[in-house]
Every structure is written in structure tokens, then in C-alpha cells.
Amino acid sequence: EVVVRARVVGAPTADGAKEGHGAKEGSAAASVSFGVVLDDGDDGRCVVRAVAEGSPNDVALRDAEHTGILIGDEIEEIEGLKAADSKEMVASMMRDAALKKLADEGSPGDADAAGLPMVGVRCRVRRPRSVFCLCCRRLSACARCVAAGRLHWHRHECAPFQALPAASKKAGDTSIIRMILRFKVSLYEHVGEWCKTKEPLLELRALQRNECAVPPQQLAALATLTGVPKDQVTAIIFAIRTNASSIHRNGQKVGCALSILMGYHNHDCRPNANATIDENGNTRIEATRDIAHKEEVCISYVDATQPRAQRQQVLSEHYGFTCRCTRCQEEQRRELKAKMHARRN
């Protein structure tokens, strides 16, 4: 159960009735605003699509004791009554419940930071384990990240993505465009990073960037679409191609990460450490064996179980170098010996 707060307009303040009006009279003329955008869910339930910035239910303004509504919540009951099937009816039920509570209590019992009166409506919600952005359908966040305001921050990068021409969003993988837009909006002072513990995007400029085979016209098109200068677009793409690492869950690839911590480690096809992303989204470098004093800590940029030829191809195309680690040299010598033996026979 959560409390959905509504800001009251035209009602008595939390400190008492308006001058010249009684509490009941002020309440009768009141209107309420939740700042919550509702949508019709796929399973017939009404779902919270967005929460307006600065509204009574904005996670950024929420105190620790207030368990409020979150993006992705499916509304099942409102003040003990089963929620209607449509967003219009649910909005009407919430508004009526708030006005009824206001009339019964005579005046709001709470106020926001600006001193404006508020009233709370109890709702029972179903909170999914993960939530897709209902606007772009490109980003998913777990319930804990939603509560921390990740989807609330996402609107800054989602809006410019939605404004792009439809043709630019038809491709199956739009991660490059979205990464560039994220870089762009993170530089705005009023936006900043979506998490204080995250590696700042500006620090990614320190990563090595190897030139990759990306057509100049494609770089120019991305710059035009996103409004980011071409030299910055080029730097971002080359940094991604040179340093991005795969994220795996239960043995399956679920995404890629661009991390300074990962990028500062050199590659070895027989690594003594693994780079992983834990359940909290933190980058971890974990030793896979004992590491000697002054021995360099190395990770593998590619799937180390692949044959040497495939590893070399990926490293050359995406990272711009030919690996000459001990394992590659050993395997190359064995391959040469096998070829020589085959010729003799």
C-alpha cells in the first residue's frame, strides 16, 4: 500500500481556514493535482506512466518516511475500492477520493516544502520487479532503481530520443544514439549524472580511443541527429568500440558497459582477473587466481573460450590491436607445428 499525495488548490492551508471562509466552504471549492500521468496497461490495469517533476509524488522531493507511488506501479485499489479498468476512470476515482478526504477532514493535514496544502490517498499497487520506460520502451530498471529515481532522470534523455525522426529509431540497436544523448544531457547543470556513485561521463574522455572503421557520413549523421559536435560523437564512438565490455547474467549477454575502471586494465587472453557488473550495478574486478607481487592485473576484452583466430579478429576490428600475449603465441606455435606436420605427411 502506498500514499499518493495531491496538492490542493483553493482549500484552507494546513494552518487553518482561509480568511473569511470556513473549512468546509473552502474544501467544497477545492481542486487537487497529483502530478501523475496514468496509462492503460497491457493486462487491463492502470499503470503509472510518469511522475511530474516538482509534483507531490516526485521521488526527488520525497521524505524517507513517505512510501509513494512509482513509475510502473499498477493501481489495484483506491481507498479500499477496486480500481477501474481505464486511466480516465482511475484518475476520477483518485480525484474524488482526495476531495472526499478533504471534505471529511475539513482542512489538509499536511503541506509541501513550499507550504502548499496536500492530501493523501491510500492506494494498493502491484509493483513489478522491473519496469520498462513506457515512452521509448528502450530502457528497463529494477524496482530499487525506480525508487531511487532512475526513470525520473531518464526523461531528460528520453524526450530528445522521442523527438528524433522515426527512421532513425527503426534500427534494432539504438544504443549508440542513446549513449550520445545521455552524454549530451548529462552536461546540463540542471540534469547532471543520474547517480552520484556513477563514473562521470566526462571522465570517459580519458579512455584510449582507437580509430575504427565507421563511415564519416554516419558520424556526420549522428552529429546532426543528436546536436552533439562531430568531434565529440567520433570520440564517444571510438571510446565505446575500444573499451566497451559485455555484461552477462546467468551466462547470457544482457548488455555492454563503458567503464573507466575496466578500460584502464590491459587485455590478456589468459587473464588473471574478470571484470563484472554486480547486482547493484557496480563494476568489480575480481582475481581468478593468485596474482604475484608486481604482476599486472589483466582482463579479457573478448570471450576467452573462443579460438585464437576469432579472438584476434574481434580484438583487431573493435580494439585496434593484435594480441601477442603468451597464450596467443603458444597457440600460434602449435598451429604452425600442426601445419608443418600435416605437410610432411
Give the domain ranges of the chain. Answer: 2-127, 145-319
Confidence check: pLDDT of 13 > 50: no
Confidence check: pLDDT of 226 > 70: yes
Q: What is the pLDDT of residue 22?
A: 34
Pairwise pLDDT comparison (337 vs 175), residue with the higher score:
337
Q: What is the pLDDT of residue 207?
A: 80
For the chain, give the mean pLDDT: 82
Q: What is the pLDDT of residue 114?
A: 67
Region 62-84: mean pLDDT is: 81
Could you tell me the fold of the domain covering 2-127?
Pdz3 Domain (2.30.42)
Share of the chain above pLDDT 70, in %: 87
Residue 307, judged by CB atoms within 10 A of its CB (0-12, 13-18, 19+), counts as: exposed
Region 149-157: mean pLDDT is: 86
Contacts 24+ apart (CB under 8 A), 143-149: 143/70, 143/72, 145/281, 146/70, 146/71, 146/72, 147/59, 147/70, 148/59, 148/195, 149/59, 149/60, 149/194
- Tens digits of residue pLDDT in 315-326: 988 788 899 999
**What pTM value is reported for the model?**
0.66
Confidence check: pLDDT of 21 > 50: no
Q: What is the pLDDT of residue 201?
A: 76
Closest CA to 285 of 300, 295, 270: 300
Pairwise pLDDT comparison (109 vs 192), residue with the higher score:
192
Confidence check: pLDDT of 16 > 50: no
Q: What is the pLDDT of residue 75?
A: 93
Confidence check: pLDDT of 47 > 80: yes
Q: What is the pLDDT of residue 29?
A: 62
**Amino acid identity for residue 276 in this structure:** T
Region 76-98: mean pLDDT is: 92
Q: What is the pLDDT of residue 310?
A: 95
51 with 37: CB under 8 angstroms? yes
Q: What is the pLDDT of residue 294?
A: 94
Q: What is the pLDDT of residue 132?
A: 85
- Tens digits of residue pLDDT in 257-309: 788 888 888 999 999 998 877 777 778 889 999 999 999 999 998 889 999 99
